[in-house]
Amino acid sequence: MPDATTLYLILPEITLAVFGMVILAVDLIWRERSRAALAWLTVLGFVIALATALLGWGWNMALFAQMYVVDTFAIFFKLLAAIAGILVTLVSLDYLRDRTPYRGEFLALFTFAVLAMMMMASSASLLMIYLSIEFLSYMSYLLTGFLREDKKSNEAAIKYFLYGAITSALMLYGLSLLYGISGSLNFADITATFAARNDVPTRIVALVSTALVIAGLGFKISLVPFHQWAPDTYEGAPTPVTAFLSVGPKAVGFAVLLRVLLTALPAFKNEWIALLTVISVLTMTLGNLVALRQKNVKRLLAYSSIAQAGYILIGLVSVNLNGASPFSGLNGVLIYLFAYLFTNLGAFTCVIAIENATGAVEIDDYKGLVKRAPFIAALFVIFFLSLAGIPPTAGFIGKFFVFGAALREGFLVLAAIGVINSVISVFYYFSVVRAAFFEAGKDTAPIRLAPPITFSLVVSAALVLVMAVYPEPFFNLAAWSMGMFGVAK
Amino acid sequence: MLDRYGVVALFAFMAVLFPAIPLVFSWIIRPKKPNKSKTTTYECGLEFEDFPEEAQQVWVQFRVQYFLYAIIFVVFDIEAVFLYPWAVAYNALGLYALVEMVLFLGILILALAYAWRKGLLEWA
């Protein structure tokens, strides 16, 4: 029987599970009358989950036969998940009202998706990792195909599902090899096995399984060559879901990747660094070059988010947890993910605000935006500056720590490729800004903003700017979150 | 040594005899009135000769309700899978298992209530 401490530590998960079912039940009982209340109930659930996640701060405990851990690293990602949940729920209100009658189901599924993200962040055994990734995947497929009448939404869901099914089979095979060689699902036992046995057959099996695990998680993070689903899925999915997919599963995908590579496979660090370096270069370059040719803003942001995953990967490649340098690579990844969360959600919120008012998602439709919605146009500039990594924005701080770690480790070429890619990205980000500011549009009707969307935009933009001007608290947050890897504080 | 094969032979003989007896017995006492419907392959209660000619092919379209029923069936199936071991070990497991089962059944009942409210239990 779980004791009180266990229940206390998994309070955020319990909260979200209860709220998900309550939302479903309330929707069943009151139907139409509860529609407006449901969204606020969902937000309340995420706020409570956020608060209860903070209660576990400073704990470092393995629960349920070492399958589930609650440590500062997991809590960092639970905070990310809850914040993403709040912001996406707020921006989805108006979008869903016009498009689907099944809003109760949407909010319930979305709550479960955030619950799955929290479970991924805490997973510490091969079995738990697989189950939580599948849980998140199923919720993502359903949310992607949620607009049943919309053919693009259906296509997006089918493509996402087929890619997901194949990569998850690959990853499961990799996990089964790890289990076969170590006889345990537990990370500590796997590390011990590889420390004790270093013969050639063991190494070969370990390398194959490492590659397969990276393939499975690379799908969630949308790394090249597992990225093909991303543009079509991002374009076809309901835009709030696209915003969620571009930050949520990506962030926790990195969490699992970090945990597996650093705690279960540190014996093969040189090998996975080599593999991930190649993937990182490919991901950045392909994402940025293809983004140059995009006409649809959702597709442009899809390729941009592929490229961003490449930058973040530089931090993982440059991980060095020895010494007191402020550039440990790991903190770069965490700071980058935190900055990216607000930046990308903010950029997508602008897209949603415009789509709600005009239904348009092409760059050409953004012409003359500064006259119609000066507020949105100005925020677009902030978010795109941040995505491109130009100060004074959060994106710059993220890139600073990630590229700094690469330089510290002596990966000069990798850092140079990253910087060149950032310069390329400025071109396509600012093609949208140019259309919005310097070209005259046909339509001149002003665009009205709903209060929840305004709130979410202001919060995102404020955090993007605050992180750049006063990064110290965020730097400390990342340092605390790394505590479980035996580093500082 | 050989007498042990005798046991096996006896067992095999009984295994054939037991199903044979009711078959033969019912063949002797039953009335014999065959019709077309009785001689066709049994297909979940659907009478194939009532269908038009083209529908008697193998590619029959089933109503989507079968699919929904199958999903709802899974709800009860899972329920039964957990209820039996719990019922058998009820005394040993105590209050904790009771609370767990109430939570578990609550979640499943929510699923059933959802299906009911959405009209999935009506055939029309």
**Contact flag B113-A21 (C-beta cutoff 8 Å):** no
Q: Give the residues across from A186 on adjacent strands.
A: A125
> CA A114, A179, A316: angle at the middle one, nearest 5?
55
The residue range of the domain holding A348 is 269-489
Is the residue at A312 inside a domain? Answer: yes
Percent of chain A clearing pLDDT 90 (strictly above): 56
Is the residue at A247 inside a domain? Answer: no
Q: Using an 8 Å Cβ cutoff, are A474 and A395 in contact?
A: no
| Averaged pLDDT, A338-353 | 93
Percent of chain A clearing pLDDT 70 (strictly above): 97
**Higher-pLDDT residue of B32, A461:** A461
Is the residue at A380 inside a domain? Answer: yes
Q: Using an 8 Å Cβ cutoff, are A378 and A350 in contact?
A: no
Token pair, residue A400, equals 């600073």
Residues in chain B whose beta carbon is closer than 8 A to a beta carbon of chain A?
Answer: 96, 107, 110, 113-114, 117
pLDDT at B44: 60
**Higher-pLDDT residue of A442, A162:** A162
Indicate the number of domains in chain A. 1
Residues of B in contact with A25 (CB under 8 A): 110, 113
Is the residue at A445 inside a domain? Answer: yes
Interatomic CA distance for residues A273 and A313, integer angstroms: 10
**Contact flag B96-A28 (C-beta cutoff 8 Å):** no
Interatomic CA distance for residues A199 and A201, integer angstroms: 6
CB atoms closer than 10 angstroms to residue A193: 18
Task: Locate the chain A residue with the closest alpha carbon to B115.
Answer: A28
Interatomic CA distance for residues A1 and B107, integer angstroms: 20
pLDDT at B55: 58
Round the CA-based radius of gyration of chain B to a whole number and report it: 25
Residues of A in contact with B110 (CB under 8 A): 21, 24-25
**Contact flag A25-B110 (C-beta cutoff 8 Å):** yes
C-alpha distance from B101 to closest chain A C-alpha (Å): 13
CA distances from residue A460 to A344, A349, A367, A380, A453 in whole angstroms, order as listed:
9, 9, 24, 11, 11
**Contact flag A28-B114 (C-beta cutoff 8 Å):** yes
Q: Which of A481, A488, A473 is nearest to A60 (CA)?
A: A481
A interface test, pick of B96, B103, B107, B114 with most A CB neighbours within 10 Å: B114
Is the residue at A345 inside a domain? Answer: yes
**Contact flag A28-B117 (C-beta cutoff 8 Å):** yes
Burial of B20 (0-12, 13-18, 19+ CB in 10 A): exposed
Task: Locate the chain A residue with the closest alpha carbon to B117.
Answer: A28
Of A40-44, A230-234, A253-257, B74-78, least confident by mean pLDDT is B74-78
Is the residue at A488 inside a domain? Answer: yes
- Residue ranges and CATH numbers for the domains of chain B are 2-117 (1.20.58)
pLDDT at A320: 81
Interatomic CA distance for residues A229 and A246, integer angstroms: 12
**Higher-pLDDT residue of A465, A327:** A465
Burial A365-402 (b: 16+ CB within 10 A, else e): bbbbbbbbbebbbebbbbbbbbbbbbeebbbbbbbbbb
Is the residue at A242 inside a domain? Answer: no
pLDDT at A240: 93
**Contact flag B96-A21 (C-beta cutoff 8 Å):** no
CB pairs under 8 A between A and B: 10
Half-sphere exposure of A263 (CA within 13 A, CB side): 21
Interatomic CA distance for residues A244 and A242, integer angstroms: 5
pLDDT at A488: 35
Is the residue at A449 inside a domain? Answer: yes
